[in-house]
Amino acid sequence: MKIVALFPEAVEGQDNQLLNTDKAIGLKSFLQDKGHELVIMKDGKEDLDKHLEDMEVVISAPFYPAYMTKERIEKAPNLKLAITAGVGSDHVDLDAASQHNISVVEVTGSNTVSVAEHAVMDLLILLRNYEEGHRQSKEGEWNLSQVGNDAYELQHKTIGIFGFGRIGQLVAERLEPFNVTIQHYDPINQKDNEHSKFVKFDELVKTSDAITIHAPLTPETDNLFDSDVLAKMKDGSFLVNTVRGKIVNTDALVKALEDKRVQGYAGDVWYPQPAPADHPWRTMPRNAMTVHYSGMTLEAQKRIEDGVKDILNRFFNDQPFQDKDVIVSGGRISSASYNAKNN
């Protein structure tokens, strides 16, 4: 069986990294021992296209995705399984996958703690104006008024969480000791919990001092945070996004930051990925962007490795996948998150 995987290129001396072309999350020996062919790609475009005709399984990570568009799926007649080495399968056209009876499975829960911690870090970085303080330190400056003018405490702020699944709930749990008011919107989870109060989407946008996004990219959330939604945000509020860059409109965000309608933006997700060198988010005001690595802690990578191997073993042995991991199966999108409608 031909299995194609896309991983970031290995760099000499970075021996801890599991998710790269060298270690390949342990798949080289794992698949060789089972008699399968593993092709490791460095490029998700031309390199991917030349394997479409005869590949049966494709594996890639959200941090470095192989975009399985409708056009590519139609050129892959033997493809049976698309595995996300992590969480978030929006790089696969799910409708096309269901129409061609391709299973889409991910490693649910593998990086939830890592991403939740990253989101809390981003909130603190933005509110404390860390990026300006660090810039001054690095460039030999010492302008306390400039950095202090936009530095705030987190306590007593209202934090809005958009998307209240596993990661959103972990974020709420970790924010509670900061003595904040936490509110959330989620089209599926419309109940209060011990850490957070459910509110409608418009209320979340208008009343939050900072919003952190934890909803999957779907047709409903694609470009949801456009110029209209950003204009409704509380003056001087902050926005964090550790899910998918495409949930926030690229140009609208730049303008909102330039106009100081939104005071700061942090996250690690871009569209497309890898982001081009001239992506406007690299240079927009008050940004605390990083490359997409919030879910790539070494602990998360090990859970991803174990999860991908479990998915493959189940596939090889004609065993059902774990329900929590299944996004598309049996010709339909089975994940509630990807079927949810905002209201």
Residues 6+ apart with CB under 8 A from 10: 17, 20, 21, 22, 23
What pLDDT, on the 0 to 100 scale, is given for residue 343?
A: 54
Q: How far apart are CA 101 and CA 9, in angstroms?
A: 31
**CA torsion angle 95 98 102 105 (round to 10):** 80
What pLDDT, on the 0 to 100 scale, is given for residue 44?
A: 74
Note whether 95 and 333 are within 8 A (CB).
yes
219 preceded by a cis bond (ω within 30 of 0): no
Of all helices (H) and strands (E), which one includes residue 212? strand 210-213
pLDDT digit string (tens) for 296-332?
999 999 999 999 999 999 999 999 999 999 999 999 9
**Strand runs labelled E in 269-309:** 287-289
Catalytic residue (one of 20, 111, 183, 249): 111
Distances (CA, A) of 187 to 163, 170, 182: 8, 18, 17
What pLDDT, on the 0 to 100 scale, is given for residue 211?
A: 98
Q: Is 16 marked active-site?
A: no
Q: Is the pLDDT of residue 213 over 70?
A: yes
What is the second-level CATH architecture of the domain 2-110+298-331? 3-Layer(aba) Sandwich (3.40)
What pLDDT, on the 0 to 100 scale, is given for residue 342?
A: 61
- Which pLDDT band holds residue 341 (cuts at 50, 70, 90)? low
pLDDT digit string (tens) for 243-284?
999 999 999 999 999 999 999 999 999 999 889 999 999 999
Q: What is the CA radius of gyration of the chain?
A: 21
Domain boundaries, the chain: 2-110+298-331, 112-289
- Which pLDDT band holds residue 339 (cuts at 50, 70, 90)? confident
State the average pLDDT for the chain.
95
What pLDDT, on the 0 to 100 scale, is given for residue 174?
A: 98
Mean pLDDT for the stretch of residues 178-184? 98
- Which pLDDT band holds residue 113 (cuts at 50, 70, 90)? very high
Q: Is 111 marked active-site?
A: yes
Q: Is 244 marked active-site?
A: yes
- State the residue for tokens 């031309």: 46
CATH of domain 112-289: 3.40.50.720
The more confident residue out of 337 and 73 is: 73
pLDDT digit string (tens) for 41-87?
987 788 899 999 999 999 998 888 999 999 999 999 999 999 999 99
77 preceded by a cis bond (ω within 30 of 0): no
What pLDDT, on the 0 to 100 scale, is given for residue 43?
A: 75
Residues 6+ apart with CB under 8 A from 267: 122, 213, 240, 241, 242, 245, 289, 290
Model's pTM, two decimal places?
0.92
Same fold, 2-110+298-331 and 112-289: yes
Q: Is the pLDDT of residue 94 over 80?
A: yes
Q: How far apart are CA 52 and CA 4, in angstroms?
A: 9
Q: Is the pLDDT of residue 217 over 60?
A: yes
Catalytic residue (one of 214, 292, 301, 303): 292
Catalytic residue (one of 273, 287, 301, 303): 273
Q: How far apart are CA 306 and CA 329, in angstroms?
A: 21
Q: Is 214 marked active-site?
A: no
Q: How far apart are CA 7 and CA 64, in angstroms?
A: 7
List, as one string, the DSSP characters of 75-87: T-TT--EEEESSS
